[in-house]
Structure 1
Amino acid sequence: MVTVTTSVLDTSSVVPPRPAAPASAGGFGGRAVERAGLTALLIATAVLYLWNITINGMGNQFYAGAAWAGSKSWEALLFGSLDPANFITVDKPPVSQWVMGLSGRIFGFSSASMLIPQALMAVAAVALLYGAVRRVSNSHHAGLLAGAALALTPVAALMFRFNNPDAVMVLLMMAAAYATVRALQHASTLWIVLAGAALGFAFLAKMLEGLMVLPALGLAYLIAAPNPIRTRIVQLFGALVALLVASGWYVLVTLWWPASSRPYLAGSTDNNFMNLVLGYNGFARVLGRNHGGGGGGHAQTPPAHAAAQLPAGHPGFGGFGGQVRGVERLFSGEFGVEIGWLLPAALLAFVLVLISRGRAPRTDLMRAAAIVFGGWMIIDGAVLSYMNGMVHPYYCLSIAPAVAGMFALGIREMWTRRETLFGRLGAAALLAVTGVWSFVLLQRNSGWYPELRWAILIVTLLAAVLVAIPWTHRAHRRFAAAVLTVGLLGGLSGAAAYSVATVATAHSGGGPTVGPAQADGHGDWGQAQANPQLTALLQKTNSTWAAAVNGSSSAAGLELQSGKAVMAIGGFSGSDPTPTLAEFQADVKAGKIGYYAVQSNGRGQGNGSFDSRTDTTGTADRSATGGARTQRSQTADPARMPGGSGGFGRNQHTDITNWVTATFTPQQVGNATVYNLSGYLG
């Protein structure tokens, strides 16, 4: 894992109002040492994140199916289609699929070609965070601390080794923050425009979530850039134009490309990209209006058995039904162990830096950086905390660079003020808060290495006491620096241990979680169960779509198993208004669909196909949403669900299912009931 082996901060007690640019002195004692430290940090990050990365297999099959499709079809790559025949897209913009699909085209599609680019994005994000903190603090060691803190954040170790869109989104958000820091140094139009362009592509990764850093960046530049206010406003307008250009071209492509010859935009109610942005993936998600039902409803509550997979000691199934809403969300349950390790200290650091820099000039870079990272952390964190819709705990990756950066800036600022009581007590408080909160988080999983939490608590509190002492002699100051370094290493140990445990554990499905492996799995709901007989049957087909199934996750699973395109009726949750019965019948008549796969009870496969029924123990399923949607009991037999045990949502295409079952003869193929659609004349 990543470690910091030198004093975290230099020994200067002078606080310049505007830190100088990084030194350019050559020789082994200057930039050479810095480069060696940065290289070691990046290599350690790469080793940690690339280690046995294929343990995660296809990760989230939903996105893996789209990456596979993109490796087979340029049009599928452009739109982020779930299948190479371009029936429907995934429910997000395609930037993540561009990266993984292109990698598959170049190297051949596999788990490695899909996931290695994700891990390399982590290395790039760590490098950018190091560079931003290094520039504003004029401290190589503060940059190393920030980069190491990000690399050792458990949610980063989880999601930068997974195939969800969050990795590329956060990298682009960090790139925008870095560009803003560069712009702040010299009021650079070029760099602030580049920041806007980076945010435009972050929007094309996960829409509005990618823009959560924008208010903090704009405010920091408006306040602190060293040029007249009118010029700052014009430059920010230029950044906004760059954002609109970087994101808007794709929106125009979806609007100008004839809808009849491109895939349906999943999650929208009218096949319109902006409907997806403002509704399903926008305000509906924040306000809690995307829990399924009508078109575009993204039913995100997992099956009941998924809740049972939550690791012991992670109270509350974070992100779903039992999760708290409010300020405590980011500190409790699964959120707490994914992002919470340094969060209290980072919030304290934000306050301490603002107080410390209260009388600095308007253009002070350290205060501006606190606005960048602190504002990013608070604004984005507030949205995550109060979202009333579906919230996966791993969404908190979006604030991981901000938390790490703000923590490092707080340590650096307090260390430069160590000649004052405020500086010493501030540094001691940051260490103590980190150690105590790590102890609390580890206590929630008390059976896992219990000695670790006590070691962290003792080391950090002892270091805090020693740092608070006013050391006067030079040798004593070096001792204080060593104590601070040890305290920080102790404070990072809890997060590091959870990150290493996360890397060592296989993750798959729609709800991956961090920490040590659990006997019941790690959030692998939404994964298709293997059906070798059905796979062999589909591999023999030559039709446009080898099969049609209800729901995207089921379709993606069959695609990955068979290497054939599969039509996902109704999109992710089975509720997207495509295809109509008439369209489906026309495709069947034209010989474009080989088979229709259903469950043994005659309903559509996978997503959107749960009815109240009696499970294998004779216990009736109960509705999880007051009758709007029902789920299988956790004791139900997954073998009855050929599309996997993770489907959810309400089936809006029963007319298709009813027509198929009334028109064609069923046959049992493995654990699936299949209808051969060939030969239909209408």
Structure 2
Amino acid sequence: MPGVVIQAKSRWALAGLLLGTGVLYLWGLGASGWANSFYSAAVQAGSQSWKAFFFGASDAAGAITVDKTPASLWPMVLSVRLFGLSSWAILVPQALMGVGAVAMVYASVRRLFSAWAGLLAGAVMALTPVAVLMFRFNNPDALLVLLLTVAGYCVIRAQERGSTRWLVLAGSAIGFAFLAKMLQAFLVLPGFALVYLVTAPVAFWRRVWQSLLAGAALVVSAGWWLLAVALVPASERPYIGGSQSNSVLELALGYNGIGRLNGGDYGGLGNLNQQAGWLRLFDTEAGGQISWLLPAALVLLVAGMWFTRRAPRTDPVRAALWVWGSWLIVTGLVFSLMQGIFHAYYTVALAPAIAALVGMGAAVLWERRAHRLTALVVAGTAGWSYLLLARSADWNPWLGVAVLVAGLGAALAMLFSRRLLAVVVVAVVACLAGPAAYAVDTAASAHTGAIPTAGPSTGGGFGRPAGGGFQRQNGLPGGFQRRDGGGQAPGGRGGMRGGGMGGLLNAGTPAAELTALLKNDAATYTWTAATVGSNNAAAYQLAGGRPVMAVGGFNGTDPAPTLEQFQRYVAEHKIHYFLGTGMGGGRQSAGGSDEAARIAAWVQETFTATTVGGTTVFDLTTQS
């Protein structure tokens, strides 16, 4: 009977955790509007055309795709098809994925440890500021993180008894995660595979063929869409955005692959992040997003490995520590040292690993009665939280002091007090207060644009400038190049500052008179308008509800369409207007195409410019 009561209490506690997570992730969700308009426009397009849905096209007429594989768009599109186009319909699936990820972290830890360890891990996951940000946003990271967390759980289940079924499910989850954010999904693969090969309680050659079978499942789940795209003639599908040769493989291996690692560029904007280094995850840009419990997770990983050093090869606790530890270390090192484009919100991929290691590590220390080491972890976490909170000196300045005093007090009490439960509660509250405060601030704030950030603005830390921002750069669509960190636009964090209706990293709101012009006689044309850059196009398309061609794709550097193709579209009366936002075209110095610039120049030379709602408009049906 006592066991039944405890089990019932743990279920109620889990229900409370998931309900609280749901409230945090769903509360005020519509305040962010279209969030990342680039993806919202693709969701709108998919809700109007199943072909656009399948390929992930930016517009319903299928001119070009987003610069990612489309799986992350599919749940949002289905939601919009059910409930109509709105901010809520787009973002609710993301929030529910967050609740699912918290549940999977809890389930992973709970299989090996007490319910309180699972609840601690789930709470850490739910309250990680960058997790709150990304599960309330429409970037691909939400689905990526959920699927990788499912894969981690499946590997743990597979390792327990050498289960082929669970290992194949893990491979399938990682493969489908590839369709959400391509090669980033594979960062967990080396560690997961090695853990199973070394620790599974079955014969070696059985482990080998099981791993090969899981690899086959991965290839099938990741490759079916790529094969479908390859089999469809290029003329019958949208251009693959982000590539220079209309190739998904180039997109995955170049622009979203090797280029992110070595800083070489494949039609993007070049190396905009030259601050790569060992401390990147702790610096001003990323520290407040993810690093609150990162030092604790690393210490607990090492401690857990030490305490299980004499365990049998097949010990499930040590194997689980390796599963999540390999995830954290490999992905963390790649994020820290990658020379290409890096944004702080990428670090949401570390949140499940940190959360699981904190829960499991705390349980191992509790079982071993390692109170001194636990006290050291609590004191270190409180001290680091104090430093992170100090970066936002004008934001609740009392909180850092309270966290430090409570954390150090709890750590000291662990060494001498016999009322350990009360002390542990204070320690947990002290360690989670900082990220929880950032999490609530994130949920209470609107976020728009391509580079959102969690929590209040920060300053200081490892010599990095405060806040970041954008600097003007001639030759970029909308006139902006990312310098460091995220800017802030009125009404939302992480948006573009200044200049024009929209820009490279955010979409503005078109004037009412321009929107009315675009809607007039729109059904007569395949595209009601064309403009350089996907965010500019997204703004007009979301406002007018009709396809707008994004010339040059996201950066304005894709050769789609070519000048000859564009001229043919105009001659066939498929495009009504050309909108002058981003008339400078793309940046070619990074290896991108100059087709957008050629198209813009041809339009200027051939058609008469007028101004509507502050935007230059060319009527492509009437030559000058």
TM-score normalised over the length of structure 1: 0.83
Task: Render the CA deviation track for 1:458-510: whole Å, top value 9, x for unaligned.
Answer: 111121122234x7xxxx3xx21221122011110000000000111110001
Q: Cα gap change, 1:245/1:661 in structure 2, threshold over 3 Å: closer, same or farther?
A: same
Task: Render the CA deviation track for 1:158-215: whole Å, top value 9, x for unaligned.
Answer: 0100000001000000010011111112111100100000000110000011111112
Match of residue 179 from structure 1: 154
Give how far 1:26 is off. Answer: 8.5
Q: Cα gap change, 1:58/1:26 in structure 2, threshold over 3 Å: closer, same or farther?
A: farther
Match of residue 131 from structure 1: 107
User: Which of 528, 532, 554 is the matching residue for 2:512?
Assistant: 532
- For the residues of structure 2 that align with 1:297 and 1:494, how far apart are their CA atoms? 40
Per the alignment, in what secondary structure is the counterpart of residue 454 of structure 2?
Answer: coil
Per the alignment, in what secondary structure is the counterpart of residue 81 of structure 1?
Answer: coil
Per the alignment, in what secondary structure is the counterpart of residue 446 of structure 1?
Answer: coil
User: Which of 437, 444, 447 is the matching residue for 1:497?
Assistant: 437
Runs of 5+ consecutive residues of structure 2 not aligned to the other structure: 458-487, 497-504
Q: Cα gap change, 1:468/1:214 in structure 2, threshold over 3 Å: closer, same or farther?
A: farther
Give how far 1:433 is off. Answer: 1.4
Match of residue 469 from structure 2: none
Give how far 1:527 is off. Answer: 2.3
| Alignment pair present for 1:574 and 2:544 | no
| Alignment pair present for 1:432 and 2:379 | yes
Match of residue 156 from structure 1: 131
Task: Render the CA deviation track for 1:302-340: whole Å, top value 9, x for unaligned.
Answer: xxxxxxxxxxxxxxxxxx54x631110000112000001
Per the alignment, in what secondary structure is the counterpart of residue 66 of structure 1?
Answer: helix
| Residue pair 1:549, 1:569 contacting (<8 A) in 2 also | yes
| Alignment pair present for 1:444 and 2:391 | yes
Match of residue 305 from structure 1: none
Matches within 5 A, 1:301-450: 321=273, 324-418=275-369, 423-450=370-397
| Residue pair 1:591, 1:679 contacting (<8 A) in 2 also | no
**Residue type at the aligned position of 2:621:** S
Give how far 1:28 is off. Answer: 5.1
Match of residue 422 from structure 2: 482
Per the alignment, in what secondary structure is the counterpart of residue 568 of structure 1?
Answer: strand
Per the alignment, in what secondary structure is the counterpart of residue 29 of structure 1?
Answer: helix
| Residue pair 2:161, 2:201 contacting (<8 A) in 1 also | yes
Per the alignment, in what secondary structure is the counterpart of residue 493 of structure 2?
Answer: coil
User: Which of 269, 281, 300 is the matching residue for 1:299?
Assistant: 269
Per the alignment, in what secondary structure is the counterpart of residue 449 of structure 2?
Answer: coil
Q: Cα gap change, 1:227/1:411 in structure 2, threshold over 3 Å: closer, same or farther?
A: same
1 or 2, which has the higher helix percentage? Answer: 2
Matches within 5 A, 1:68-217: 68-137=44-113, 139-217=114-192
- For the residues of structure 2 that align with 1:230 and 1:34, how far apart are their CA atoms? 40
Runs of 5+ consecutive residues of structure 1 not aligned to the other structure: 1-24, 291-295, 302-319, 610-626, 630-648
Match of residue 467 from structure 1: 414
| Residue pair 2:586, 2:597 contacting (<8 A) in 1 also | no
**Residue type at the aligned position of 2:90:** M
Per the alignment, in what secondary structure is the counterpart of residue 567 of structure 1?
Answer: strand
| Alignment pair present for 1:594 and 2:576 | yes
- For the residues of structure 2 that align with 1:48 and 1:281, how far apart are their CA atoms? 31
Matches within 5 A, 1:192-271: 192-271=167-246
Per the alignment, in what secondary structure is the counterpart of residue 515 of structure 1?
Answer: coil
- For the residues of structure 2 that align with 1:558 and 1:428, how far apart are their CA atoms? 56
- For the residues of structure 1 that align with 2:140 and 2:373, how far apart are their CA atoms? 37
Give how far 1:650 is off. Answer: 8.2
Give how far 1:429 is off. Answer: 1.6
Task: Render the CA deviation track for 1:89-112: whole Å, top value 9, x for unaligned.
Answer: 000000111111111111111100
| Alignment pair present for 1:458 and 2:419 | no
Match of residue 5 from structure 1: none
| Alignment pair present for 1:67 and 2:26 | no
- For the residues of structure 1 that align with 2:362 and 2:316, how far apart are their CA atoms? 16
Per the alignment, in what secondary structure is the counterpart of residue 618 of structure 2?
Answer: strand
Q: Cα gap change, 1:483/1:519 in structure 2, threshold over 3 Å: closer, same or farther?
A: farther
Percent identical residues? 46
- For the residues of structure 1 that align with 2:448 and 2:537, how far apart are their CA atoms? 16
- For the residues of structure 2 that align with 1:652 and 1:457, how far apart are their CA atoms? 56
Give how far 1:128 is off. Answer: 0.3
- RMSD of aligned alpha carbons: 1.9
- For the residues of structure 2 that align with 1:488 and 1:26, how far apart are their CA atoms? 26
| Residue pair 1:588, 1:680 contacting (<8 A) in 2 also | no
Give how far 1:27 is off. Answer: 6.9
